[in-house]
Chain A
Amino acid sequence: MIPLLTTAELETIHQHARADYPAECCGVLLVRGGATEARRLLPCRNIQDELHARDPERFPRTARTAYYIDPANLLEIGRREGEGFEVRVIYHSHIDAGAYFSETDRQNAMLDGAPAYPQATYVVVAVAEGRVGETRAHRFSPETQTFVEVPLLGGEEPVGAKRR
């Protein structure tokens, strides 16, 4: 089974989470399958504070409670997709809160009733007082039509899901 994240990738994500505290960090893991799998971890810029400063009505939250990936990063993700990569992991941190998949996370992960990135697992890192706490992974289950927790390092099958 291919691991969702290698221990080195997880450590890089944790470093990012610590460095950006008390702002939420965010990023993606891009994977290109095939005979020789290629993996690219892309830490992204959270522009939530800039959006909040520009338009606090439309963006009432700051980066302490929300993330918004820099569109420049999204363009780069697009370029990588053109090279055959796909978004396998979307990660962000929660500041002084748990590693749960929030209602906001759920809403943003869905687009018109279907998951926006069906192949992606959402990884959430809890950071309290600058220290990384638990890290949990969540993935859309077509069977239950909800996000379910999946093993972080074990693989990509949802917990309890039937193997196809």
Chain B
Amino acid sequence: MAVSVYIPTPFRRATGNQPRVDVDAADVKELLDALEGRFEGLRGLVRDATGKLHHHVNLYVNGEEIGGLQGPATRLKDGDEVSIIPALAGGV
């Protein structure tokens, strides 16, 4: 299952500046495992030590947030587009 993953600017230091990588994975958890296996620097940036997605990171499959799908168990199919996007926030 070749899935295209969009890597936004904040995470690109971990992917050698690649904005997009192709990953073979059957679901979201498998995809994150594969990504972290391939790019050591992503460990800790996307998920915490227990494997949970950080609060400030949102994950989308074809533009839909995985919270509204099946979370990490969301199935992936050939040609799906996955985006891993950290929050952009601040304040006084």
Contacts and interface: CB of A to CB of B under 8 A. Distances in A.
A24 B90 CA distance: 10
Interface string A70-112: 0100110110011000110010101101000010110011011
The number of chain B residues touching the other chain, given as a range, is: 20 to 34
B9 A116 contact: yes
Interface in B71-90: 83, 85-90
Given A71-B58, A105-B90, A114 B13 contact: yes
Residue of B58, B60, B85, B91 ringed by the most chain A CB atoms within 10 A:
B91
Interface residues of A, number: 38
A92 B90 contact: yes
A81 B92 contact: no
A61 B90 CA distance: 10
A65 B8 CA distance: 26
A151 to B, nearest CB: 21
A133 to B, nearest CB: 14
Nearest to B65: A71
B67 to A, nearest CB: 10
Contact of B86 (A94, A97, A111): A111
Interface in B1-40: 6, 8-10, 13, 19-20
A78 B8 contact: yes
Given A78-B85, A111-B45, A24 B9 contact: no
A112 B44 contact: yes
A81 B83 contact: no
25 contacts: A26-B88, A26-B90, A58-B55, A61-B91, A66-B90, A68-B88, A69-B88, A71-B60, A74-B8, A74-B87, A75-B63, A77-B8, A94-B91, A95-B92, A102-B90, A104-B90, A104-B92, A105-B91, A108-B87, A108-B89, A108-B90, A111-B45, A116-B9, A116-B10, A117-B9
